[in-house]
Amino acid sequence: MSSFVGRKASILRSLLPVTGLIAVLIGVYCYRPNAMNYVGLGLLLTYAMPVALAAFAQMFVIAAGDIDLSIGNFISLITCIVAAVIPGSPIFGLALLVLLILCYGGLGVLIHIRRLPSIVVTLGFSFIWLGIAVLVLPRPGGLTPEWLSALLRLRTPLAPLPVLALLIFAIAGYLVLNRWSYGTVLRGVGGNARAVSRAGWSVLLAKATLYSFAGFFGVLSGVVLAGITTSGDANLAPNYTLLSVAAVILGGGEFVGGKVSPVGTIIGAVTLVLMNSLLTFMNVGSDWQLAAQGLILIVVLAVRAAISHLETRSVRDARITFGAS
């Protein structure tokens, strides 16, 4: 009986992100049935792409047992580079993007070697990214390359481009963390770094790799966001920091390192974006939309806590039964 309860709780945990997404999709369909066709889905999910990529960046940091409070300003910096530097000097702009990815990897090295709290270091770097962004583009503006905007407007067969892109992101993240042999090491760093070290793996290299992945997806998020807005702004994406954390948690991730889900993270990001659209359809103000997002996150965490309690109780009952026998 206890094992049955444990399996049932595990199934409920895995179905929670999908259930939330289905509920939001039903709400959107009820208020805007036309939004569920090819064109409507493309428009609704356009902004889900940069949010999902930002959530992926955050996911790799959380997998390391850390949290990144700078990803929003980092993405804003990328939009400034894409809009102000790349059109005139594409090679130099590309070199800057590569350098920023390496800087993110160095951030992980710094946090590990000096044993600094990631929340403090990344908060400090958020101001650094903001300052550089203002230097690159003092005022909102610039113009992204036409090929980038054209690429994001591409009409793909079978499904809109955002749907296909989100599917590709989910598969790529799953392959990296769950199918790649080194992915086990990356997930293990956040869960039990000492065990990873005893197994002969470099914790320093693993953390540098995780933060480099975070920088890579942060750059992709900024490039996509700049292509959508066709301009750059140093204050364009500060809310992506909290959105990225919420997406990872809604998707089944936990602040205990190593427990992240790439597919769930994509689902969480899409759910948040569609939730904003649904609340807009319901004529809910922007301030109340933020409150609704917070409430949803609290409810999800409460449900997951209840499921975890069921799992823990089933394990305890199984041990008691085994001991009695």
pLDDT at 118: 93
Give me 79's structure tokens.
């939009």
CB 165 within 8 A of CB 48: no
Give me 296's structure tokens.
């949803």
Q: Is 309 exposed, middle or buried (0-12, 13-18, 19+ CB in 10 A)?
A: exposed
For residue range 63-72, what is the model confidence (pLDDT) as tens digits?
999 999 999 9
Helix axes 240-250, 286-324, angle to 10 degrees: 30
pLDDT at 298: 79
Q: Is 165 exposed, middle or buried (0-12, 13-18, 19+ CB in 10 A)?
A: buried
Mean pLDDT, the chain, integer: 87
pLDDT-derived band at 2 (thresholds 50, 70, 90) equals: very low
Give me the percent of the chain exceeding a pLDDT of 90: 56
pLDDT at 280: 85
Average pLDDT on 80-91 reads 95
Average pLDDT on 265-288 reads 86
| Vertex 122 angle, CA 286 and 80, to 5° | 65
Average pLDDT on 133-153 reads 92
Average pLDDT on 225-235 reads 94
pLDDT-derived band at 305 (thresholds 50, 70, 90) equals: confident
Instruction: Find the radius of gyration of the CA atoms of the chain.
Output: 21
For residue range 164-198, what is the model confidence (pLDDT) as tens digits?
999 999 999 999 998 888 998 998 898 888 989 99
Average pLDDT on 145-167 reads 91
pLDDT-derived band at 38 (thresholds 50, 70, 90) equals: confident
pLDDT at 259: 83
Give me 85's structure tokens.
């530097």
- Which domains are present in the chain? 2-320 (1.10.3470)
Q: Is 141 helix (H, G, I), strand (E, B) or coil?
A: strand
**Range in 182-186, 240-244, 309-313 the model is least confident about:** 309-313
Give phi and psi for 232, each to the nearest 5: -125, 160
Residues 16 and 294: their CA atoms lie apart, in Å, by 17
Q: Is 232 helix (H, G, I), strand (E, B) or coil?
A: strand
